[in-house]
Structure 1
Amino acid sequence: MKAISYSRYGGPEVLGFGEVDDPVVGPDSVLVKVRAAAVNPVDWKCREGYLAPILRAVFPVIPGWDVSGVVVRPGPAVPEFSAGDEVIGYVREDFLSRGTFAEYVAAPVRALAPKPRNLTFEEAAGLPLAGLTAYQALNKVLGVGRGETVLVHAAAGGVGSLAVQLAVHLGARVIGTASERNHDFVRGLGGEPVSHGEGLAERVRGLAPGGVDAVLDTVGGDALRVSANLLAPGGRLTSITDTEVVDHGGRYHFVRPDPGDLRHLSELAEQGVVGVHVSETFPLERAADAHRLNQEGRTRGKIVVTVGGETEG
């Protein structure tokens, strides 16, 4: 099959397009014909070796954890899915090797859920990793409730844009940091935008004089340190990018695959509670360009790699 892969750590230039071995479908796996795969910041961090201490690379590595596609064949221990089912997945294992930037992926059943019927394959590919990150952070780490005020950093980004929608659904008031060009976008999601950078604390205090009840940090660094001083009494803080959050009394959050959570996200998408904004798509052979664009860190919503083609039985 055709795929994107790399045989050493490095920049986007290490990504090559060509033939690789077809995936082996184990008893608890599902062979999925990939229609689209979203790009996430963790993809280039893995490619450059930043996650080597916790995720061993078995070269050659096919990058990508997000996928939407069609089931070709379930493994013998998988009654949940049948050939022809449309699915989404956060296909992460405890090592790097068999990713989603390929024509096919053998996905563990624990990584999959039905695809939202109202989303395109491109939109659906952007839901699993970013959606699970936001959902688990808001519900399981921060415990956001109705009537609370939540600060979401990078509210126009992949995780941030979904977090704004999910927090609004939980009944929270949402303040979201974003560049000026993305303020209308954040408003459209149901958030109250504020510009990031110098003076952020004063701008947030102007909207929430008593502080905020919860902060979801997706940026780290100065944004995290400012956030720690914006919490109301009893406020909660979590970061998905900066482990320094524990020094400020918060929790570091690393998303994990959860089929129940993913299925619930799919249902919320079908109900119109959450949507996925796709800013740009690239064909599989141009995945290196998709990585470069994502690494610039200024994406509104998601960047998606498309594979396409009809499903084979």
Structure 2
Amino acid sequence: MSVRYDYKPFGHQHHHHQSQDNRHNYQISKTSESQQEHEGSGGQKMSEQTYVPETMQALRLPRGMHDEDEEKGNLGQRPRSGPALLEFDSAVPTPIPTPSQYLIKVQAAGVSVGEVRAITRVGEKYRNPPSNDATVVADGPDLRGPIPGREFCGKVISTPTEDQRMAAGPTFKVGDEVIGLLRCRGDNSDGDQTVDGEAADVVEGGHGAAAEYTLAVQQELAFKPRNLSAAEAATLPLATLAAWQALFVHAGFDPDDGECNRPSDGPLRVLVVNAGGTDVGRQVINLFNVPTFFPALSHHIMGGKGPNETAVWICVTGEPADLDTLRHSNYKFDASTTRTDIAEAFRENGWGPVDVVIDCSGPGGSATRRMLHSPVVVKNKGRIIGLHQPHSTYPDKPSERDMRAEAKARGLATEHVKVQPNGRHLAKISQFAERGDIRPLTHVPVFDLIDGREALVDAEKTRGMTGRVILRVDPAISEI
């Protein structure tokens, strides 16, 4: 039996004269196929109603602040960008889903300093948004600024009307707990979609998850791992999807056939640059340690079973404190260095070159990229996967042209991850998290939504662009 949900407002009250307690009612009507057939002939339509507030609590940025400040000469009185601009607002209009969108009641949301800085840098996009990009209220477009938060855990409140006309109905039902990664402006384009730094982008439509309700399409969602709390589950989507796509899309490994992921000449050799300083780096190491993806090789001698050969040799680089954090968190790796000259560290320690480099160091200069392309560091026909798009230089420097020519001659493949929402990838991550193979990021601190501004300001001071927090939107959920 298919189910149809009609999502429509009724009993609207004028926004400017309402209090926080006034509610905007949305009716969700649930009708079976057989009931639909009889509606035209006088059959009674059974319905059940749920009520969504007309306004919601959210952490948001003001719209058009910079122009106003410039006109009034207040540039020295307000911060120009970053978390200090955030405001907690208890009267933000609740978003209304399109026929392809789910309405999600958010339980916990992940927000990074880099994302907030990116939003404030492109705030001019929100002064005059296109009509299809504005929150719809009776008084016209919402004049508030965008809401941050790409990743979240929450509960489905309403399902897409276009899916409910299909025989199978929507993938996620009302009441299902889900995790998600929201699409950014610029996804599926040449825009820079990176994770742990300044290049993080703005959630499409400005409706991020640092709010009581958010909108998502099917490809942005997966079922929540049942063994994790909402706060734990909210740490998974962005960093783990970036790590997953680095390994299983860009590096060419196969998550469904681990035996094919081993080189013929011994263990897979991997270098993870700045592993401890980024959430993506931690999840890269986590994935390399999943036996299903990279199984160890068993030696059989004279009918007996000998010792297992390690599946992956992992070398990590980073600051001493970050490497200590990795060790204390039981992330498994074989070698480490705090040296900035990675090629020299490989020479001094007698380490052979690696098959794959995963670079989580952020946008770097040509000297850093040349070092990672060194034959001392990476084998011929090896892969270099960057989590950040390098800054382009025009015209090209001779050293840049020489590096590309050498990389081509050695058969090196260099790619940059533009993390994309992907329901299939996220579902796999959720399954392995439920098995205990993929771990949540338990070091990320949890704060209530109302304290989000102060939490992110503090994260910016202590961690810079990589600072990140989980915001507990539903007070009933448990902490990590």
Same fold (TM over 0.5): yes
Mean Cα displacement is larger for which, 111-120 or 147-156? 147-156
Q: Distance in 2 between matches of 1:5 and 1:66?
A: 15
What do residues 176-233 of structure 1 show as CA deviations (whole Å, max 9, x unaligned)? 2233233344341222352434343333455662211111112132654432222111
Q: 1:287-302, aligned counterparts within 5 Å?
A: 287-295=452-460, 296-297=462-463
Mean Cα displacement is larger for which, 285-294 or 127-136? 285-294
CA contact (8 A) 1:186 1:193 kept: no
Amino acid paired to 1:190: K
Q: Distance in 2 between matches of 1:302 and 1:88?
A: 17
Describe the SS at the equivalent of 1:234. strand
Q: Distance in 1 between matches of 2:355 and 2:390?
A: 20
Q: 1:1-313, aligned counterparts within 5 Å?
A: 1-6=56-61, 7=63, 8=65, 10-18=81-89, 19-40=91-112, 42-49=114-121, 60-78=145-163, 79-94=170-185, 95-144=204-253, 145-146=261-262, 147-156=267-276, 157-169=278-290, 170-171=293-294, 172-187=312-327, 188-192=330-334, 194-205=336-347, 209-220=351-362, 221=364, 223-229=368-374, 230-244=377-391, 250-279=414-443, 280-295=445-460, 296-297=462-463, 303-309=469-475
Q: Distance in 2 between matches of 1:52 and 1:207?
A: 51
Amino acid paired to 1:164: I
Q: Distance in 1 between matches of 2:458 and 2:425?
A: 29
Using the TM superposition, give the Cα deviation of residue 293 of structure 1 relative to its aligned residue in structure 2, in angstroms. 4.3
Using the TM superposition, give the Cα deviation of residue 152 of structure 1 relative to its aligned residue in structure 2, in angstroms. 1.4
- Number of positions where the alignment pairs a residue of Structure 1 with one of Structure 2: 309
Q: Distance in 2 between matches of 1:270 and 1:301?
A: 26
Q: Which has the higher contact order (CA 8 A, sep 6+)?
A: 1
| Greater Cα radius of gyration, structure 1 or 2 | 2
CA contact (8 A) 1:132 1:261 kept: yes
Using the TM superposition, give the Cα deviation of residue 158 of structure 1 relative to its aligned residue in structure 2, in angstroms. 1.1
Amino acid paired to 2:179: I
Q: Distance in 2 between matches of 1:52 and 1:202?
A: 45
Q: Distance in 2 between matches of 1:306 and 1:208?
A: 47
Gaps of 5+ in 2: 1-55, 66-79, 134-143, 164-169, 186-203, 254-260, 295-311, 393-399, 408-413
Describe the SS at the equivalent of 2:352. coil
Structure with greater proportional strand content: 1
What do residues 247-268 of structure 1 show as CA deviations (whole Å, max 9, x unaligned)? 6551121100110000001011
- Assess, with a 3 A threshold, how the Cα gap between structure 1 residues 289 and 224 changes in structure 2: closer, same or farther: farther
Q: What percentage of aligned pairs have identical amino acids?
A: 29
Using the TM superposition, give the Cα deviation of residue 41 of structure 1 relative to its aligned residue in structure 2, in angstroms. 5.0
CA contact (8 A) 1:5 1:62 kept: yes
Amino acid paired to 1:284: L
Describe the SS at the equivalent of 1:138. helix
TM-score normalized by structure 1? 0.87
Gaps of 5+ in 1: none
TM-score normalized by structure 2? 0.59
Using the TM superposition, give the Cα deviation of residue 173 of structure 1 relative to its aligned residue in structure 2, in angstroms. 2.4
Amino acid paired to 2:154: G
Using the TM superposition, give the Cα deviation of residue 113 of structure 1 relative to its aligned residue in structure 2, in angstroms. 0.2
Q: Distance in 2 between matches of 1:219 and 1:205?
A: 21
What do residues 76-115 of structure 1 show as CA deviations (whole Å, max 9, x unaligned)? 2341111211100001243351101001111122100001
What do residues 21-46 of structure 1 show as CA deviations (whole Å, max 9, x unaligned)? 10111222111111111123541342
What do residues 39-64 of structure 1 show as CA deviations (whole Å, max 9, x unaligned)? 235413422326989xx976610011
CA contact (8 A) 1:217 1:239 kept: yes
Describe the SS at the equivalent of 1:20. strand
- Assess, with a 3 A threshold, how the Cα gap between structure 1 residues 293 and 173 changes in structure 2: closer, same or farther: farther
Q: Distance in 1 between matches of 2:249 and 2:123?
A: 24
- Assess, with a 3 A threshold, how the Cα gap between structure 1 residues 149 and 49 changes in structure 2: closer, same or farther: same
